[in-house]
Amino acid sequence: MKNYLEFEKEIKALEDEVDELKSPFGSEGISEVDTKKIQTTQSEINQKLKQTYESLNSWQKTLVARHEDRPKANFYIKKIFSQFTLLSGDRYFGDDKSVIAGFGLIDNRSVLIIGQEKGEDLNTRIERNFGMMRPEGYRKCIRLMKLAERFQIPVITFIDTPGAYPGIGAEQRGQASAIANSIESSMSLTVPNIAIIIGEGGSGGAIALASSNKVIMLENSIYSVISPEGCASILWRDPSKSLQAAEAMKMTAKDLLKLGVIDEIISEPLGGAHRDPEAIANDIKHSIKKNLDSFKNFSKEEIYDHRKTKFLKIGRDQGFSKSSNLNDVGLSYKESSIQKIKSHIVKNKLVYIGIGLVFITGVVSVIY
């Protein structure tokens, strides 16, 4: 049974009509199937899908990103990789079912695969904690990233979470530090890491696994520091203003590519990824292979510097810093007058030493 979103009512009516036309059992008994009418209605459906999905606003894209039929990480792992070996546990507390992790092959190339998994039905969603990772999940990822680093194996992550789990137990076990350490581990890798946002990319729970050389988004996915409902509740005390919040937050793939936060957008099939999962899986596989190949001739240091420079560059042309020189990978800041004098002295210390020696020599010669 297909699930439809609020703005897909007309599409649902047309598809219901096609289903009735395909059935030989009508209200008056067995009848001939009208293939011409089916083709005409199907053309209407495709046209309506095209019109609808080409004009989605940010809030509607949020609903598509959360669609319960949307393919999840587990699906992509099975379709894209071979010989996947699941690994579990953080070696401290236990295992976290909301994240799937292990090693596998993509066209005979070894990779570490990490995927945030929401689950397919009510039972698996409860088991997977709706994709909200706990500290042990992030520590499991850190452990495996270090293992991949040791054997120089690239890291592929699938991002799909409303955010890290905010429960009391998670906080007691060090949720914040686990997220911070995961970001640090991702940023410190000397192997290529590629993050694909396949649904929701919520807050630190997402960026903990998306601090990568390449950040890729599916066309109808979202990536933000807070949900639109949460933002609307904070700014206007009114969750119903989610549309305004979503538009202001610039959380869609198109907006984030323009801002330089992500590197690539993978187009989705007509009507969203859930309407043709096989096609989108093939497109993701092609993108992963292409991006891995782009780092084939990079040294460890170049891979690390590429990632560092990429993140330091974000915002530099949007007011964070006027500097756009990629060779300057440090964050710029305003120096005080004393700091400027100190910097000038350090930079020209040999000149000042020479002047000092000449002065001392002159003084000595005058005295004697």
Q: Is the pLDDT of residue 279 over 50?
A: yes
DSSP assignment of 122-160, as one string? Answer: HHHHHHTGGG---HHHHHHHHHHHHHHHHTT--EEEEEE
Percentage of residues of the chain with pLDDT beyond 70: 89
Task: Give φ, ψ of 224 to 5 degrees.
Answer: -155, 165
List, for residues 209-261, the tens digit of each pLDDT value: 999 999 999 999 999 999 999 999 999 999 889 999 999 999 999 999 999 99
Crossing angle of the two packed helices 242-249 and 58-65, in degrees rounded to 10:
90
Smallest CA-to-CA distance from 56 within 231, 330, 311, 270 is with 270
What is the residue extent of each domain of the chain?
A: 6-55, 64-296, 337-367
Tell me what the mean pLDDT of segment 19-40 comes to. Answer: 69
Q: How far is CA 85 from the centre of its chain?
A: 23
Beta strands 29-30 and 25-26, pairing class: antiparallel
* φ, ψ (nearest 5 deg) of residue 186: -65, -45
- At 352-368, the pLDDT tens digits run 787 877 777 777 777 76
pLDDT of residue 331: 46
Question: In the structure, what pLDDT confidence band is assigned to residue 321 with cuts at 50, 70 and 90?
Answer: very low
CATH for the stretch 64-296:
3.90.226.10
pTM equals: 0.82
- Per-residue pLDDT, averaged over 28-33, amounts to 54
Residues 6+ apart with CB under 8 A from 240: 232
Q: What's the pLDDT tens digit per position in 46-93?
A: 999 999 999 899 999 999 999 999 999 999 999 999 999 999 999 999
Rounded CA-CA distance 252/331 in Å is: 26
To 10 degrees, what angle do helices 242-249 and 228-236 make? 110
174 confidence band (pLDDT: 50, 70, 90): very high
Q: Whole-angstrom Cα distance, residue 271 to residue 100?
A: 27
Report the pLDDT averaged over residues 177-183.
96
Distance CA 94, CA 86 (A): 15
| Contact (Cβ atoms closer than 8 angstroms) between residue 150 and residue 110 | no
Nearest by Cα to 119 from 162, 61, 84: 162
Mean pLDDT across the chain, nearest whole number? 88
Alpha helices in the chain (DSSP H): 9-22, 35-54, 58-65, 73-80, 122-127, 135-150, 168-172, 175-188, 203-210, 228-236, 242-249, 253-259, 277-293, 300-313, 337-347, 349-367
Using an 8 Å Cβ cutoff, are 45 and 180 in contact?
Answer: no
Say which residues have a Cβ less than 8 Å from residue 304's Cβ, sequence separation at least 6.
188, 189, 190
- Cα–Cα–Cα angle for 229, 260, 55, rounded to 5 degrees: 55
Residue position matching structure tokens 């959380």: 251
